[in-house]
Amino acid sequence: MSKIWQVKPPIPPELSARLNDHSNLVKQLLYNRRFIDAASAGQFLNTAYENLHSPFLFQDMQKAVDRIWQGINNREKICIYGDYDADAVTANAVLQQTFKYLGVETSSYIPDRFTEGYGVNLEAMEKIRDQGVKIIITVDCGTNSCDAAEFCKNNGIDFIITDHHEIIGPTPEAYALINPKNSADKYPYHEIVGVGVAFKLACGILSDYKKVSGRLSSRPLSRDPDESSKLDSGYPRKHSDSGMTQKEYAGGFEKWLLDLVAIGTVADCHSLIGENRILVKFGLKVLAKTKWIGLKALMDAAKIDLSAKQPDTYTLGFIIAPRLNAAGRLEHAGVALDLLIETDAAAAKEKALRLEQINLRRQQLTASVISEAKEQVLRIQDRKILALMGDNWPKGVVGLVAGRLAEEYYKPVIVLEKTEEFCTGSARTVGDFNILEAIKHASAHTVKFGGHKQAAGLTIKVEEFENFYVKLLEYAEANVTEESSKKILELEAELLAADLTPNTYNQIASLEPFGVDNIKPKFLVSDMQIVSCRSVGQEGKHVQFQLAKEGRQIPGIAFNFSMLEKNIKVGDTVDVACELLLDGWNGRSQLKLRIIDMRAGAQLT
């Protein structure tokens, strides 16, 4: 689908005057993100850890913290129940590491995607009850688990929910509900994800200095990680050893958790404005010196070289998170959790290599299902929502397939694995279309569903698929306009030849970390001459360019690019939509363009 280029309007002079401490380019970028005064711009650019909100702004936080400390002191059994995606796995690891630091043995339970499905199920509750657990803490799930809350209440278990998903029906009668989307709550930031909520609980637990000091004083002053006992191989699991010395914990242990928080936050594709920006910015700093042996092994296996390049949100979202997700997609998410909490270097290396192999298999399966799904799309591509189902489409990859197809066709997409009786799968959206509301409109034909406006999971009966699809299309007809269905390539500003310097790149970098609501800036560079080009990469799918503008030459790279499709050749003068990259070599920096789109004459609106 061809893109319509749109350059954002220039900042008005009166607003520009309010931001005189910044360069003209940074002023424009701030204006594009709706930071139009010195105070809000300063808070955005000068992110301070101290600006994180108090965990006790959650109305049930104190109640939850008090109960957990009571459980610790009374040696009651505590179980952490988490979903199977990267957000949930990192949230589980955050609480596991917190309890380990305090010398508290806990267990974890992660449902099997294929036999149990998403969320809290009663069969799992029964297993956990039979182990004598008295406190269950959910991570990234539980908000709509009214039956589980009732089960716990009737069985003498205190059910503490930490989650960030929308409340669809009645609020569960849990011991505590910690969720920023709870309308009855007063927490000021609603975009925090599951791992962020788990981190808040960890901070709440660790905030009682007297209790924490009492726990630490009863432990040895130092402990060699190599002396740690091996973890059990079954599920649920017990965890009690941290793999770090007490000396390393001194002074703000919770900050060592921020790398895990950053990974889960970026993986869940939520806003990087506000509190999430703080968590990710400082999480990236912690990741560069992470203490977690398993996370180090994962990065080694993925060939992430922190000595060559500092990690960024691309590292989190496109290298680390897919590997953590792969375990739950194809096998069991416990594989990923085990790696994150592993304390033995040799075992961590072995587990990281296993995860690498699972991820490779995930890539191959995804490509296969995309190919089959596209055959179905050919028959319905004129519809405003694409709903597809297929036999033997692994439910672990249907979300990835939905995301890829939504991006390619620029339409909301639902992809379902078909079994004899049920279809189960995932939904992804584009633009401002709220996919959760669309599914709600068709909910009479669903068995269950949940999620948020960008992504959702659902199960329907096979016999209800057509009725479900009719209701979806009915909703789309009323909510998708011709204007909203256009694929827009938004460009932040036009760069001149004089702007194509490493200094400009550094100005842009001041807005990092990039992500949802603070995307990496794309720019228009007009009237560039193609000096040379050559195909590179596997099957020659990418093109390297040498471009020139007003006597200044600059290299560029375009991924999955066809000169033939664009009808351009060497010697042509083109307009380029691009991001700026900075290559370092032998102590020298060279600017490079990552070309998003190219055309002989930009069709701007």
Q: Give the residue extent of every domain in the chain.
A: 4-11+490-599, 55-351, 381-479
What is the C-alpha separation between 89 and 298, in angstroms, rounded?
14
pLDDT lower than 50: segments of the chain = 220-251, 602-605
494 secondary structure, DSSP code: B
The confidence score (pLDDT) of residue 235 equals: 31
Write out pLDDT tens, residues 139-182: 999 999 999 999 999 999 999 999 999 888 899 999 999 999 99
Write out pLDDT tens, residues 231-254: 222 333 344 344 333 333 334 899
Write out pLDDT tens, residues 9-33: 999 999 999 999 999 999 999 999 9
CATH architecture of residue range(s) 381-479: Roll (3.10)
The confidence score (pLDDT) of residue 1 equals: 58
The confidence score (pLDDT) of residue 12 equals: 97
CATH architecture of residue range(s) 4-11+490-599: Beta Barrel (2.40)
Domain 55-351 has CATH 1.20.120.420: no
Q: Cβ distance 275 to 374 under 8 Å?
A: no
Question: Considering only CA atoms, which of 326, 301, 300, 304 is closest in space to residue 315?
Answer: 304
Dihedral of CA 309/263/275/247: which sign?
A: negative
Question: Considering only CA atoms, which of 347, 49, 357 is closest in space to residue 203?
Answer: 49
Q: Cβ distance 523 to 493 under 8 Å?
A: yes
The confidence score (pLDDT) of residue 275 equals: 97
What is the C-alpha separation between 77 and 447, in angstroms, rounded?
34
Distances, alpha carbon 527 to alpha carbons 495, 497, 534, 549, 600, in Å: 11, 10, 20, 7, 9
Write out pLDDT tens, residues 162-173: 999 988 889 999
Is it true that the peptide bond before 111 is cis, omega within 30 degrees of 0?
no
Helix, strand, coil abundance in the chain, percent, nearest 5: 45, 20, 35
Is it true that the peptide bond before 9 is cis, omega within 30 degrees of 0?
no
Phi, psi of 461 (to 5 degrees): -75, 145
Write out pLDDT tens, residues 101-117: 999 999 999 999 888 88
The confidence score (pLDDT) of residue 600 equals: 85
The confidence score (pLDDT) of residue 248 equals: 38
The confidence score (pLDDT) of residue 450 equals: 87
Per cent of the chain over pLDDT 90 is 80
The confidence score (pLDDT) of residue 564 equals: 63
